[in-house]
Amino acid sequence: MRANDRHLVHIIAQLRFGAGRYVVDTARAQHRRYPGAVTVVVGDDGEEPWVSSPTLLTELRANGVGVVRCGDLFHRDVRNLKASADQLRRAVGQWGPGSVVHAHTAMTALVARWAGAPTVVCSCHGWSLERPAAFDLQDAIAFSICDVVTTPSTHWARALTERAGLNDVPIVPYGFDLARYPHVTRPAASNRPLRIVCVGELTERKGPDVLLDAMTSLWEDHPDVELHFVGGGDRAAQTQAHALTIDRSGSRIVFHGQVAAPYVMLETFDVFALASRSDNQPVAIAEAMLAGMPVVSTRVGGIAEMIEGGQCGYVVEPNAPAALAQALHRVITAGAECRRTMGESGERFARRTFDVRRHVEALDDVYSRQRRPRHAA
């Protein structure tokens, strides 16, 4: 397909946090390949915290990528989704033969198909724990009318077969603009306390309570170790209250709140930890690997594929604070030189795997296939 035939439309309910960062980097890279042919469609902002980042929206516009608001893309309301499809159709005008809509939720894929898009690709970024069981069926139906459904990990490719009846799901790891992630020179060992950092939303899904419970065991052997949380969420107040019950002085657990660019902080920490209960390919772990950090996390979604692929840390079962504490203990007692070696291995893997240029080439191949997914028997 010639470049001037291409029209790429990304559609997502909100541009926020890791998924928003990924979509922006991908759209920018595609815009460089197909100038003027890339648009990002986002929903109208609703209630907090489900709103788009003004910084990400500004970044798209400043780099020549079109941005279109398109109604309520978050709630599963047929009337609203149909209205969004009408808005999308009017915004596009005439779909050309090279038009591809890349949806980032099942419901936005439905909107794209209702809007008449000739090719609809959907990326499954994973599902939250709290979602109603009926959503699985709704998403399976929406996926069935897509031309291709992709996901970043083999774990979720299997889940799409088991839970949505899809077969032959292309695995396309996320890609990021690595210029934003320069090599980090890890500081030499010092006499300061070792510092663990968790970057992520303070929500049930990310398991901050599990990490806190792990610290009570870890402090039995390493009483000076600090834990730092970077991020906010609907469990922020609850997490802070929990922290005070195990660290009454408040000196060993630090909350930094939401930070626009956490990567620049990572050189001041020694170990990255994330106790997710449900995930796919967390951007925070990719950034930790790019920063040359050893990582301890849980065997959910594609996390094990990242850590074991990079040979940069340990994975434990979710909801297992004792196992998490033991893994952190192993990293701490291994010593600074071993942590450096693990971090360097993870960084090499991440720079090979998560380069947006490689990602865009893989997406081009997916877009060009224009095939309908086959269903498992």
pLDDT for 50 beyond 90: no
Q: Is the pLDDT of residue 1 over 50?
A: no
Which are the contacts of 62, defined by CB distance < 8 A and separation ≥ 6? none
pTM of the model: 0.92
Task: Reply yes or no on whether the pLDDT at 190 is more than 80.
Answer: no
Please tell me whether the peptide bond between 132 and the residue prior to it is cis, using omega within 30 degrees of 0. Answer: no
| Confidence at residue 374, expressed as pLDDT on a 0 to 100 scale | 43
Q: Identify the band that residue 127 occupies on the pLDDT scale cut at 50, 70 and 90.
A: confident
pLDDT at 298 over 60: yes
Strands 253-255, 313-316: pairing kind? unpaired
Neighbours of 357 (CB within 10 A): 13
Of the pLDDT bands very low, low, confident and very high (cuts 50, 70, 90), residue 371 is very low
Question: Taking 90 as the threshold, does the pLDDT of residue 260 lie above it?
Answer: no
Give residue 146's pLDDT: 95
Helix residue ranges, H only, the chain: 17-33, 54-62, 78-92, 106-114, 134-144, 154-164, 208-221, 236-246, 283-290, 303-310, 321-334, 336-353, 356-369
Structural tokens at position 136:
């699985």
Q: Using pLDDT thresholds of 50, 70 and 90, give the confidence band for residue 377.
A: very low
* Separation of alpha carbons 163 and 355, rounded Å: 30
Burial string for 195-232 (b: 16+ CB within 10 Å, else e) reads: ebbbbbbbbbbbbbbbbbbbbebbbeebeebbbbbbbb
If you average pLDDT over residues 11-23, what whole number do you get? Answer: 92
Greatest mean pLDDT among 101-110, 132-141, 159-168 lies in 101-110
Instruction: State the pLDDT at residue 373.
Output: 47
- Residue 375: pLDDT over 60: no
| pLDDT recorded at residue 129 | 65
Query: What are the structural domains of the chain?
Result: 3-176+355-375 (3.40.50.2000), 180-353 (3.40.50.2000)
Mean pLDDT of 123-143: 88
Whole-number Cα distances in Å, 175 to 179, 180, 331, 363, 369? 12, 12, 28, 10, 20
Residue 324 phi, psi dihedral angles, 5° rounding: -65, -45
pLDDT classification of 48: cutoffs 50, 70, 90 = confident
Residue 67 corresponds to which tokens in the numbers above?
Answer: 């941005």
Measured in whole angstroms, the distance separating CA 153 from the mean position of its chain's CA atoms is: 11
Find the mean pLDDT for residues 28-55.
Answer: 91
Task: Say whether pLDDT at 3 is over 80.
Answer: no
Lowest mean pLDDT among 129-143, 144-158, 260-274, 363-377: 363-377
* Contact residues for 153 (Cβ-Cβ < 8 A; gap 6+): 171, 173, 280, 281, 301, 302, 305
